[in-house]
Amino acid sequence: MGERAGSVAGVVVLAAGAGTRMKSSTSKLLHQVAGRSLLSHAVSAADALTPENLVVVVGHQREQVEDHLAEIAPHVVTTVQENQNGTGDAVRCGLAPLRDVQGEIVVTYGDVPLLTGETLVDLVSAHRAHGDAVTLLTAVLDNPTGYGRIVREADGDQVAAIVEQKDCSPEQAEITEINAGIYVFQADVLRDGLESLTTDNAQGELYLTDVVKFARGRGLNVHSMVLEDRWQTEGVNDRVQLAAMNREYNRRLVEKFQRAGVTIVDPATTWLHDTVDIAPDVTLLPGTSLEGATSIATGATIGPDTTLVDVEVGEGATVVRTHALLAVIGAGASVGPFAYLRPGTQLGAGGKIGTFVETKNAQIGADTKVSHLSYVGDATVGEGTNIGAGVIVANYDGVEKNRTVVGNHSFVGSDAVLVAPVTVADGAYVAAGSAVTEDVGPGELAIARGRQRNIPGWVESRRAGTKTHQAANDASANSEGTHLQ
């Protein structure tokens, strides 16, 4: 095929369609596959060509699309297709910012998320190897209905024309090689070909495909590259197709990580974004979803039934039935089951955030344990400290959030409340059931509760005749009998 492609003069991404079948107030191009927008996938593939110019043709809901592009790809130039008058018109709009550009122009779509940059590089390489004016990507389908058919020259080598479904003769309709809608053009041929287009067809539109026939009519080379991976040519037009694309993309991601040494027990219930990083010898249990910039270090076990969004998990950590976002979990740490780690949580090496524990903006030191039924928010907890069952860090006074500090090797007893702002120093104890409102010094025991007082005869005077009263009487009688013996 010749040398691999280097930079091209320009890439035009067509993204102006209305996407009405999505039935969404959000632009079709902003719907996601594997955690990234359809348009983000298209731009990434285009960037593999290192184009001198990258143009996205926008139209319907263009404000959303332009705002999104400004966020994810500020190097992209946008141009507007005011009226939807076919792909030829869309590419003509895309060439407006490339008025004097010479060389190769690649045309692709914004809604084909499985199209890879490698495929585009191969397409450009084929274009150069053949000395083509136009090179197009094609696929062979069992059911080509709806697609433009590839009509070849008598010798079968070059492409003579592309005929849209509605314009096909019965014989042409039997052709199974279809146009994927992705091309490499020489810029001058593309400009001249666009000028020659007419709307003399079944849909009354300007067909970009007619540029192929134009080029052949001038005796120029037009070849195709047949793509065996048909998924790369599939677009997304409705939510059924979106779900199918997500399943296929996810299947490929799961397989990639499995082949790289990750144990994924149930691929059907494991969902991954293509931005995650998973080291070898990680185990993912059923019902796990890893999203955003999540990274999992070697030896960690995640799941079952766990969702991590932008979470860093250290070596050998265990995360069970947990929802976490924007958090860091240290090496050898343990989280869950049924834990909720909110943004800003940092758990040190060997630490534990246990059952029904919620944390937020909390830095929890190495070997510190928050094991049961607690809330720790806006807090710094040192190393080797134990936070007992049911402890609440009361960080909100009704107006502002305040911070709590608990030192190293301290102990906070069960059912205590630390009312922020407050500091419990290194080596201090807080007695169970205390409501701490003042700082606790090093080595001190804080007791902040009323002294216990037992009132004899209370049940007899207030609950006479109840089962409780009877139980108390029976227990008293048994106690007296035992005492007499």
273 noted as active-site residue: no
Burial bucket for residue 469 (CB in 10 Å: 0-12, 13-18, 19+)? middle
- Determine the residue type at 122: D
Query: What would the two tokens of residue 219 be?
Result: 């005796």
CA-to-CA distance for 235 and 109, rounded, in angstroms?
Answer: 8
CA-to-CA distance for 481 and 328, rounded, in angstroms?
Answer: 60
Number of H helices, E strands in the chain: 10, 39
> Which residue intervals of 48-169 are DSSP H helices?
62-72, 87-95, 117-130
CA-to-CA distance for 187 and 424, rounded, in angstroms?
Answer: 71
CA-to-CA distance for 330 and 327, rounded, in angstroms?
Answer: 10
Residue from 60, 68, 372, 469 carrying the catalytic annotation: 372
For helices 38-47 and 117-130, angle between their N-to-C axes, nearest 10 degrees: 40
Spatial CB neighbours of 458, under 8 Å, sequence gap ≥ 6: none
CB 187 within 8 A of CB 103: yes
Query: What would the two tokens of residue 271 be?
Result: 């969902």
For residue 109, list its beta bridge partners.
Answer: 14
Distances (CA, A) of 256 to 68, 249, 261, 268, 287: 29, 11, 9, 14, 18
Torsion of Cα atoms, 320 then 323 then 324 then 328, to 10°:
-10
Q: What's the sign of the alpha-carbon dihedral 86, 90, 93, 99?
A: negative
Instruction: Report, as residue numbers or ranges, the catalytic residues.
Output: 372
